[in-house]
Amino acid sequence: MLVIGGGPGGYVAALRARSLGMQVTLVEKENLGGVCLNHGCIPTKTLVHHCEGVSWMKRAVDHGILREGPLVDFAALMADKTRVVRAMVENLRDLVMRNRVRFVQGIASVQEPGVVTVDSGETLQARHIVVATGSREWTPRLSGAELPGVLGTRDILELTKLPEHLTIVGGGMIGQEFASIFASLGSRVTILEALDRILVGVDLDLAKRYLAGLSAKGIECRTGVMVHEIVKSGDGLRVIYVKSNQEKTLETNLVLMATGRRPHLGDSGVDRLGIRMENGAVAVDEFLRTSIDGIWAIGDVLGRQMLAHVASYHGELVAENIAGHQKPVHDDVVPSCAYTAPQIAWVGLTEEAARAAGRAFRTSMFPLSGNGKAFSIDQPTGWMKLVEDSDTGRLIGAHMMGPYVSELLGEVTLALRKGMSAADIVDTIHPHPTISEALREAAAGLLGGSIHAAGRVRTFGPR
């Protein structure tokens, strides 16, 4: 097997294939780990971790525990982020080598099924080729987008000086995460979002509650705006946009373009072979086979849920299918999380999606103001929301906002995958004191009532 792309899909596919006894070559043009490890998940979560420490110190000052607030050395913070990434890349490289995966650094191009050339001049052959080339940043055509100070998500992770004012174009998960990071460090942040809401995909209830708390964190969010142009203005930039048919301007130091990602085939060459595509993404069957025999595809290049954990799941599965196990993909129940402050985590149907599908359902919402752990760590702002199918009694959605709620996603994802009910959650003893108890309280609301706070239960009939 030959894998093109060493991200969380590609390297996992390679390692799983080795465990199944295959000979494996992995070709990657940059560092192992892909965007997630080098320019996304890991560096940003390292920054989030340090920002949580800064936020704790600020709260400690408010409570008189510390006499003065933190003075952050931004350059040192970014250097530590780089240290973490380099260490993990080195560990991953060692893991690949220990498992006797042949690693080739370079740009791979498929010449025909079974034959791949690398820009170093080497020609490689394999019975099976896995395309795991991932995705790339997408930026709308915009005058001034090429100016110095207009950054992509890779660029902003290389800053050494904290901007006084950062403007973020895009109010989705990526934009909100960077807004939380820079606001907690002291930057004034403005978010410009084209839609009339932020965090598309997040339950609207929680998205609205999250939006309501942004101004207190030094984040201004302007929705329903269309950015037309960015121009140089003194030592900074001027953003020109339209809201409600009126042209407005915004002076800022830096602009981050956080407008999403698109599938990326790179120089893999499979498009030249006539591989079937759908909406700019590689089309595969339920076993991750493409339209060309012997070529498979996984992860972001499929244009589905472009998340590292989905790519890794695909990576394991494609290796098993190549080995002859014939396991179909089940990626319809996928957990997602935004590492904002507070975190937002969700899986399954939102209330809006259930309503649009014409389903009869109920929702239960429990506030973290009734949770002992949330109070003890001085973060009692948040909610747990469960969506239950009225006909079957099964849980079909879980939506959480609060400290560390991303760590609870495994429990509710398993519950949805296995068709569990609110009673299954309630009948499971949850440890005290933990945020997970609030999840159980939300489930109890569907069974007649929460204990430690007045929850909210609503019933919706089919359309």
Number of residues written out for the chain: 463
Contacts of 26 (CB under 8 A, 6+ apart): 2, 3, 6, 10, 11, 14, 96, 101, 102, 103, 104
Contacts of 458 (CB under 8 A, 6+ apart): 362, 363
Closest C-alpha among 349, 357, 343 to residue 402: 343
Q: How far is CA 48 from CA 60, 153, 228, 365, 461, in A?
A: 18, 15, 31, 27, 41
Q: How far is CA 299 from CA 138, 321, 356, in A?
A: 17, 15, 28
Helix (H) or strand (E) segment spanning residue 174: helix 173-185
Contacts of 169 (CB under 8 A, 6+ apart): 175, 192, 227, 239, 255, 256, 257, 258, 259
C-beta atoms surrounding 130 within 10 Å: 29
Contacts of 203 (CB under 8 A, 6+ apart): 346, 350, 351, 352, 385, 397, 399
Which of 39, 264, 432, 452 is catalytic? The answer is 432
Helix (H) or strand (E) segment spanning residue 108: strand 108-112
Closest C-alpha among 441, 402, 439, 456 to residue 213: 402
63 tagged catalytic: no
Closest C-alpha among 450, 462, 436 to residue 362: 462
- 28's tokens: 């990657």
C-beta atoms surrounding 198 within 10 Å: 22
Residues assigned a catalytic role: 432
